[in-house]
Amino acid sequence: MKYNIRGENIEVTGAIKGYIEKKVGKLERYFETPPTSDVNVNLSVYNDEQEIEVTIPMPNLLLRAEEKHIDLYAAIDLVVDKLERQIRKYKTKINRRMRQKGTPKHIFAEMEKDFYDEDSSEFEDEGFDIVRTKRFDLKPMDSEEAILQMDMLGHSFYVFTNAESGETNVVYRRHDGKYGLIEPS
């Protein structure tokens, strides 16, 4: 994994960088072959509170977690724990699905390419300020897998290609905590 560590209101020292690489590097044990994706780490300090955000894009999965703590090293430990839980949850779900379909269970180890390409430039469109544009491949999946991806990202909606119909769908979290699915008519 290649590390891209950026600090906001904090200087990223060699000790901090080494600790992040050591802790996040332990996630490689969950893969048969080490992923070749970039690890994007953003560190920031606001009012004596340290915040760390880690994003690891892969072809079929986007791992993302953030934590705040008064101690930066504790925040790093907490964010790595979150990422480990996400990987275990996803791996268990994929392995269960693969066993049911009778295919090999080691699909999780094949994730080696980038999942999305991000462009954070600003655009203006008819009086509305678009402050960020994201581009990503819509992977064919079912609504259950899309909900899992949405929950892992911590978002309230997720856009995907329906594997059965081949059309673009959206799953979203309703105010009552349940999920909804938007399909084109």
Domains and CATH numbers, the chain: 2-115 (3.30.160.100)
Helix (H) or strand (E) holding 87: helix 72-101
Residue 120: per-residue pLDDT = 38
pLDDT in tens, 7-57: 998 889 999 999 999 998 888 887 766 667 788 999 999 888 899 999 888
Highest mean pLDDT among 69-78, 96-105, 111-120: 69-78
Residue 122: per-residue pLDDT = 41
For 46-62, the DSSP string reads ETTEEEEEEEEE-SS-E
Residue 52: per-residue pLDDT = 92
Alpha-carbon distance 44 to 120, whole Å? 18
Cβ atoms of residues 72 and 8 within 8 Å: no
3-state secondary structure of 166: coil
pLDDT over 70 for what percent of the chain? Answer: 80
Helix (H) or strand (E) holding 157: strand 157-162
Residue 25: per-residue pLDDT = 87
Cβ atoms of residues 75 and 69 within 8 Å: yes
Measuring CA to CA, which residue among 168, 123, 178, 67 is closest to residue 159? 168
Beta-bridge mates of residue 135: 117
Amino acid letter, 135: R
The token duo for 118 is: 């991000």
pLDDT in tens, 124-148: 444 567 777 877 778 889 988 889 8
